[in-house]
């Protein structure tokens, strides 16, 4: 049986916001945005804000990391899924949990104390770097770019 129709996974600490979410959805031809985030899964206010950004024809799901692992394989083939996570550690948990993540778009990881900036939108610390390396070893393609029409870079080359 074929797995879920997972078009792309994006790491963005703001999850779905403004034009960026819409741009990727349109670029991919996604019809379902799955936000895998433990906090947002229980927060209707944040869910409503994200829903407002996306066109009405796009379905949304807000699942915990564990629920995503448990049910992604039940997705119908017609569901063209754009999976969004807040950080690389959640992406790694999903991959290790059996979510068939093959391509990750590294979009936005904001700067904070103790992180080094490797691009205009991405900053990492040691534990982030370790998680990216593990994803690389698991065969995941890691593509750093903000919007689809930028030229992507393999994040492993920048670490």
> Which positions are catalytic?
17
> What do you get for the CA distance between the two ends of the chain, in Å?
37
Dihedral, 60, 107, 159, 69 alpha carbons, nearest 10: 0
Spatial contact of 65 and 102, defined as CB atoms under 8 Å apart = no
Q: How many whole angstroms separate alpha carbon 59 and alpha carbon 155?
A: 30
Rama region for 127: left / alpha / beta (φ>0; ψ in -120 to 50; rest): alpha
Q: How many whole angstroms separate alpha carbon 143 and alpha carbon 146?
A: 10
């Amino acid at each position: 049986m074929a797995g879920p129709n997972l078009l792309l996974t994006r790491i963005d600490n703001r999850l779905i916001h403004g034009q960026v979410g819409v741009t990727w959805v349109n670029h991919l031809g996604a019809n379902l945005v799955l936000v895998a985030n433990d906090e947002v899964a229980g927060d209707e206010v944040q869910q409503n804000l994200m829903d407002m950004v996306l066109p009405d024809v796009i379905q949304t799901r807000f699942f915990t990391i564990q629920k995503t692992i448990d049910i992604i394989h039940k997705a119908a083939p017609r569901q063209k899924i754009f999976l969004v996570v807040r950080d690389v550690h959640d992406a790694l948990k999903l991959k290790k949990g059996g979510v068939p993540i093959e391509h990750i778009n590294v979009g936005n990881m904001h700067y904070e104390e103790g992180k080094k900036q490797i691009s205009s939108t991405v900053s990492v610390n040691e534990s982030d770097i370790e998680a990216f390396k593990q994803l690389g070893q698991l065969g995941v393609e890691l593509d750093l770019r903000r919007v689809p029409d930028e030229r992507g870079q393999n994040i492993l080359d920048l670490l």
